[in-house]
Structure 1
Amino acid sequence: MVKPIKRFGQNFLKDNNILRKITEVINPQKNDKIIEIGPGEGALTKLLSNSGADVTAIEIDKRVIEHLKETYPEVKIINKDFLEIDLTQFGSSDLRIVGNIPYNITSSIIFKLIENYNLIRDAVFMVQYEVAKRMTAKKGTKDYGILSVLLNYFSETEFCFKVSPNVFYPKPKVFSAVVKIKFKKNTDEALNKVFIQIVKAAFGNRRKTLKNSLSNSIFAQLNFSGCGVDLSLRAEQLDLPDFIKLAEFARENFSYQ
């Protein structure tokens, strides 16, 4: 086994039972186009490949590339940072993205998927437990924020199961969890950009009212008084239809000049 590198956020999963459970959540089928992020030495890669799926593994660590190529000749191995990959190169609008992803870039990976949601069917990730709670949080809870709202808008996100630190090498200081993100295909393309901006603006000053948060954002010049949402509430008190109302109001009344 190669020595895990901290800057790559490497914690290798070594428990066959957990690997089997993750594979069951993914449920890979023959000819599925699967992209695995950070395969490491290929523990999950083996199970994915055995399903007959078309697997591409994207690995930043040069040390394991030859091992992966020799062990899994049927898998396409790309030695690159996933965040620098152009997903359109895979020529599909039905990609499946999976992996035990580096916890230090989890949010960046999720935002990349959201930007490319129209290319992706679903994603199954092992993430830090605290992040999993934020991804699936409900209105009014302390974990409810930008990640929860954006994922709720672009997808259906499911908390699958919690994972102990004991199944990794090296053992992380935190618990992990497996989540599944199933992307919606029917979002309003023209609304998506302004929706993301509204959500980020609304949570920009989390403890302030919506009115104050929006007035400290790029929407400072826009009077939201006719938007149909109570501006004395805080962002964490709004549900998805409220954010959609705000975004639709901004789209109709806000000038980006």
Structure 2
Amino acid sequence: MMSVKPKKHLGQHFLNDESVARSIADTLTLKGYDNVLEIGPGMGVLTKYLLEKPITTYVIEIDEESASYLQAHYLQLSDHIIQEDVLKYDFSKVFVDKSFAIIGNFPYNISSQIVFKMLENRSQIPEFSGMFQKEVARRICDKGGSKAYGILSVLVQAFYDAEYLFTVPPSVFNPPPKVDSGVLRLTRKQDFELPCGEKLFFSVVKSAFQQRRKTLRNSLKGFNLSENLKANTIFGKRPEQLSVDAFIELTTAIEMDHKIE
């Protein structure tokens, strides 16, 4: 039986444990959508369990060899295989304005970029689950106060509830990665609109954490804050001390400050 050789430049580590694959497929709640998009299916170890579910499965795969393998072995996928780079792909080509979930054993070298792509398309993505490098999965789900808490944690949790589900050892992959993996699920919040400007929010969060050792008074200097606003005790804190809600409140205060000027 033909098989696909994992390609290092694509960050491919093929999962070869059926029970782990089934467990990842079972992270989907199937609530609020009729379609699911699997990113980087490889030889379809996760895909086969998605195809058993009462949902329409699509896969997106940049690797021509993997796409051919799936075409040959999963006939029911036939016209649901998208051979494209997910980071450049326009989801509306397939889903138009319909909701869909995202799932996958994500290539570690682009996993954070996949999360940012999901955030850009969050109005269509009520659920997102899958496998990351454990450290990244923990970071996304971290609730604050630690070194792991950062840009990804705040931006994701502003719009989604994040749950770290389980850890996966290197031994279940070919080739085995050098680190443990972690599976998470993100469920979009009921109200996922921000009460402040989204662009400013992203900018405040990124600026704060890019100089995470400094207090906000110093890391947010570029925002031309009034002396009155800078007197607020929040500016004496470091970014990891702020909850997601506190970052939203901070951005709202900066927005108001700019309007007063």
> Normalised by the size of structure 1, how large is the TM-score?
0.92
Establish whether residue 88 from structure 1 lines up as the match of residue 92 from structure 2: yes
Q: Name which of 101, 105, 119 aligns with 1:114.
A: 119
Q: 2:34 and 2:192 mapped to 1: Cα distance?
A: 24
Is the counterpart of residue 135 in structure 1 residue 132 in structure 2? no
Specify the SS of the correspondent of 1:84.
coil
| Structure-to-structure mapping, 1:1-257, within 5 angstroms | 1-28=3-30, 32-75=34-77, 76-89=80-93, 90-188=95-193, 191-215=197-221, 217=222, 219=223, 221-223=224-226, 225-226=228-229, 228=232, 230-254=234-258
Partner SS state of residue 83, structure 1: coil
Paired with 2:144 and 2:170, the residues of 1 have a C-alpha distance of 29
SS in 2 for 1:254: helix
Superposed CA deviations along residues 110-150 of structure 1, whole A, max 9, x for unmatched, are 01111111110101110000001111112211101111111
- What is the Cα deviation at residue 27 of structure 1? 4.3
The whole-number CA distance in structure 2 between the counterparts of 1:102 and 1:148 is 19
State the alpha-carbon separation in 2 of the partners of residues 229 and 115 from structure 1: 32
Distance 1:50 1:62 in 2: 25
- Cα distance between partner residues in 1 of 2:29 and 2:76: 19
1:19 deviates by: 0.9
Any conservation in 2 of the 1:93–1:121 contact (CA below 8 Å)?
Answer: no
Structure 1 gaps, min length 5 = none
Task: Give the unaligned 5+ runs of structure 2.
Answer: none
- After superposing the two structures, state which structure 1 stretch, 139-148 or 90-99, moved more: 90-99
Q: For the residues of structure 2 that align with 1:78 and 1:33, how far apart are their CA atoms?
A: 14
Count of residues in Structure 1 that have an aligned counterpart in Structure 2: 251
Residue identity matched to 1:205: Q
Name the amino acid aligned to 2:253: F
Deviation at 1:225, TM superposition (A): 3.9
2: CA distance between counterparts of 1:35 and 1:240?
28
Cα distance, 1:226–1:55 mapped onto 2, change above 3 Å: same
SS in 2 for 1:222: coil
**Where does structure 1 differ by over 4 angstroms across 4 or more consecutive aligned residues?**
none
Q: By how many angstroms is 1:32 displaced?
A: 2.2
Q: Which amino acid aligns with 1:246?
A: L
CA offsets 1:34-71 (integer angstroms, 9 cap, x no match): 00000001111111112132111000000122221122
Q: Distance in 2 between matches of 1:107 and 1:17?
A: 26
Paired AA for residue 90 in structure 2: D
In structure 2, what residue type is equivalent to 1:182?
A: T
Secondary structure of the 1:39 match is coil
Cα distance in 2 for partners of 1:56, 1:33 equals 7
Determine the C-alpha separation between the residues in 2 that align with 1:44 and 1:95: 17
